[in-house]
Structure 1
């Protein structure tokens, strides 16, 4: 199910892929959209007991409100014993996650397919890209 704000600033789609919940986010995560993202991530957590995969490949901006959402999701997934895998971090968004240390608190993969491969086998088909975390 996709939700998009009136300005079209952020889109969020929640799906289930096997035993995993996948949230695909696009656009800008900011003060005006962070609550909607938090709601969708909470909804996605109810779909899995194994892993939450958040695809950020189409995200072009994330401010401090968005980072706080991810800090809460990190705490929630740890409390539930669920793996949090973020995919598609790039550019300014990746820099913000790295500078704040959030990237160190989650599993990071290049895309959803490599996240699923890693979750199912403990390894990726492709070698790690520079800056990618195990």
Structure 2
């Protein structure tokens, strides 16, 4: 399964909802989308991983680079909705400590 990305904007927050697998073959699409959002000046970027069933090291690399790029541009970056294998890999690598944001309000 590939990766589908859907971007929504609400109340100053941009959310990229991902569906499928983030791997070597699909991670570049996510990287390009996140870089474009930061370059466009968005100050709060959230990646929703609720519908992501797999994330390999290339996907983790994209998320870490996006986090650093956002910080360099005085923006916030976080992921939400990780569960199962994806949540486990974030926890095992320690990336959950700075990538996983607070649950959305409401």
TM-score under structure 2 length normalisation: 0.89
How many angstroms does 1:44 deviate by?
A: 2.3
Q: Which residue of 2 aligns with 1:83?
A: 76
Partners of 1:52 and 1:36 in 2: how far apart? 16
Aligned to 2:46, what secondary structure does the other structure show?
strand
CA shift digits 1:35-88 (9 cap, x unpaired): 011011112222512x10111100000000000001101111111121112110
Partners of 2:73 and 2:100 in 1: how far apart? 16
**Residue 42 of structure 2 is aligned to residue 48 of structure 1:** yes
User: Which is higher, the Rg of structure 1 or of structure 2?
Assistant: 1
Gap regions ≥5 residues in structure 2: none
**Residue 103 of structure 2 is aligned to residue 71 of structure 1:** no
Partners of 2:73 and 2:55 in 1: how far apart? 25
Aligned to 1:53, what secondary structure does the other structure show?
strand
Q: Which residue of 76, 88, 95 maps to 1:95?
A: 88
Q: Which residue of 1 aligns with 2:55?
A: 62
5 Å-filtered alignment, 1:6-21, equals 8-21=1-14
Gap regions ≥5 residues in structure 1: 1-7, 118-124, 126-134
TM-score under structure 1 length normalisation: 0.72
